[in-house]
Structure 1
């Protein structure tokens, strides 16, 4: 049995479970209010998913604001609204710059640190938390609550860890994707045993399965589709996608993942429309095709007149026999149908929907079934597209749950 040293009795002791962005944001807020804070995490080091997300450029937040920003959170916008209003994208930028990481806004509205990496920001953040008195203990897993609703912990080998009495507990255990980085959703079973009903976990910001032909799969798996537009259910997203052996993924796909996933669950499949030349309309495409020599091969006509790369031409053919007229071909270029038959599984999804519903917590994110226990981040039942919205809500709800804990302690 391992014992952690107690904190002075006159200082509230808060245990934060989970050293991802939501948990660290909560710890920062609690420490600033004068609490003694212990952060427990079962992984060997903190912020592992945060670091992985920053490998291709850490997207901190998005410069979008007002109703358009809230709209990105779908049905959860009303629930998360107060937390997001209390920690805005502008505040996120100011927070990063206070840690010595100046930021810039890209043409898409995405905000990045100029270093484009997560590691310098995380190091500075952990350093400041340490200076403020926050204690971090890695390699220690939360195993549930005891009879007095105190959090229980154990080391990897199962040896119990005894901690000082927690005046409040804040859980930031993540969703159910990227389990190798710590978010495996195993906490859900502990909640269910406590009588807390959860919304089922579902993949979000995910790719989809497509029954590609063998030719397309073998020749073009891993090939990007650039400068395209994807449309589904009245929404159009410009961006990029990638052909995979199993189907289709990429930023533009992720932005439509929620309605596509819901349609597949309801109807068994969903048809995505791909515009291969969103900068040209049907009339312009028809005119360009009409100026090519009729005896040229179709591939040459598409390459010369419309500047379609081989992967786009293959995608056109994948959709079935091509129209015989130039106008018909132009219309197909503007709307190539792709039938999606399943979303990626939870393990491959960037994030997850589902988890703790609004009905299970009060306005301060305290569990109604466990007084003194607060939840935040991806544990909560919400989803948002990539582009900075995920990290913004994780840190905003972490801070909001910390404020909820402080209010509860005052009462």
Structure 2
């Protein structure tokens, strides 16, 4: 195992164990998380694998096969740099809770496709959290590990993410999506065994990231919070009469509210279809979600729209953009025997426009974080 060999070479000893945590893709529920709503992600087959051993001197040493020459050893955790802050931040978050984590040697190997928005950072946080939980016998439940990973990213790294990514990595189950209530953090696995239906999710990574993405994300959040305030509810998740709410709002707040409320309904509709075993029927829900993100939430872009439209023309049962928007990836529900035609149609559409070709990854729901050695 590469990561074990790297650990031996870096630290001159054997690891105490090896753990793996996956990345994720969001099947349904975009921008609903910070509105206290519902999401339906699933763990993907790629993630972070870590060989770890405890230390007694308070030092944290980290190295990654994806960042050769960037090994770091810190006793003052604030000195960690770059990617290492995601791993070291977990130690910081655990110590901040008073947990007896004295130190660790960590070697990491990752295979999450770069730039596809599949949450390699959450995979790194959760694999380190699970390893330390086991090695120090902390007795933390999986959702607590997710909260620690989120705390590391929010307060140590400085990225204001929700808890969806970490929860999916910690709680994912093979052949299932994860239905998560972002207010209560209640969750349950939902059957999503694509292989028995001869289908898969095709991830289409456009490879583009438009400059307005970060600022527009913050603006969308502000618009949602302002709309909730005008409606007198804690969050847009609490809107029960959409028609009445829309009559009280104008401009962007009206559009954002329509997307969030209907997107929560789409998550619940998809859960119902999947529990009924109607996997092939969820394509229409994917399509409706993309139209809402394009027209009401206005976070799509030409590259995502072309990917979605050409995938459907190529035979996908449904498709939508996934993630924060303004670039990144789309997902398509595709029968195994139509993958080549969908891929060809998307590639042709990009070539016609003179765009660089997107990359494709086939994904079925994978297991969550676990010890593998």
- Same fold per superposition (TM over 0.5): no
Choose 1 or 2 for highest CA Rg. Answer: 1
Per the normalisation by structure 2, the TM-score is 0.23
Q: Which has the higher helix share?
A: 2
TM-score (ref. length: structure 1): 0.21
